[in-house]
Structure 1
Amino acid sequence: MGNLLSFESLDDVNKERLTRDIFYSFVSLHNDHRESFEERIQSDHSSKTIHIDKVFRKDWFIRTGVSNDSTAISTFISDEFDDRVCADIIPGVTKIMGIAMDRLFGNFVANQSSTSTYVISVGRSGISRMDVNFFAYQFTSKKISEIATNLVAITVITSAPKLNELKRNDVSVISQMLCTADFADERRLAIRNKMWEIVQQKTSTYSDLHEVSGSEHRRNWKI
């Protein structure tokens, strides 16, 4: 999805200096934006979202010449997040990220645009929540656009969702969102059943621990 900004490929010293200045200014803007995004995600207690249990990873990428190309997005997801997104649901995750990027490229104000989305995914490591933020700067100067048409920063926070909050219908809706229209019913049901199995296992463990903790509390109270 887009390209890495290369300084070595520039044969003009002034152009290289300009490119570095642009890049470092963008990184500074992105750092402020990223910190705000991370703080907002980790303090989100909305009753309408699936809450975060623990944050495990924070990744960010900067690309230039980015367009809303589904093939490029799909390749980016499979290359960077293959441990968190199983192959079957890459098309579904690609569609969700593509919708977010439509908003990104259609909402520039003062050459800047940003948008966020999150997806509940299933991969080799189980069920995860991936919060994704896009922050973009679009260049209008002819001199600069010869070097880069845009810069896009992608921040991804991977966390474990609170599975004990999920009901069976929630899992059905999630699996439906992750599966594209060309999915056979058997494959979609297999993904849903696998996710529900993981939820039940985690919920059962949580209930057992809660019950043990409560028993110990009552026993100590009696003493």
Structure 2
Amino acid sequence: MKLSADLAAFAARLGHGFSTPDLLTRAVTHSSISSPTRGDNQRLEFLGDRVLGLVMAEALLAADLKASEGRLAPRFNALVRKETCADVAREIGLGEVLKLGRSEMMSGGRRKEALLGDAMEAVIAAVYLDAGFEAARDLVLRLWGRRIALVETDARDPKTALQEWAQARAMPPPVYDELGRSGPDHQPVFTVEARLENGEAERAEAGTKRAAEQAAARALLARMEKRT
């Protein structure tokens, strides 16, 4: 079976010609539209997560021959977490070719972080099954390239980093307050404030409450570290 025009264009953006086109079709098919004759991408997502992890572990070890496990682990987590996979998916227009059920489509499924991240992992698995590990590794390194190069020496979750900064100065953990929510239900925007006991605070907006908390924590930590 040949790829549809939109999937063929997407495969071209990936830079991979599929010998088994059905793999790519399954990788972009969400469970909301699956049927006994149409498989979804859940099993591929499971496999792709492991392939991505191996590629990143190899890349980080090769990039820093002296780093300890304790320093490598946060970098690894930053590169394989769902948010990063979703960011890569957005860059290559994966949301545009997702096959979704009506309810998911109406609720903004093409922009949902979890759906995009899962589908990105499924696409990695599709390339792996179609052409082997080297092809999948080449794909991941190409799509994640600048992220691997720019990953911070300390790539901890911003909320964790801010909490550790506060604890090192005998402060209680920072507090996060949801100040508002705007936009339609399928595309909300959350406004969150991160605040330290000393009164210092930063606000941020994002499409999920968690992402807004992280952005506020990152901004507050950057300001406090710059000041000290």
Normalised-by-shorter TM-score class: under 0.3
In proportion to residue count, which structure has more helix?
A: 2
In proportion to residue count, which structure has more strand?
A: 1
| Larger Rg, first or second structure (1 or 2) | 1
* TM-score, normalisation: structure 1: 0.26
Structure number with the bigger relative contact order (C-alpha 8 A, sep ≥ 6) is 1
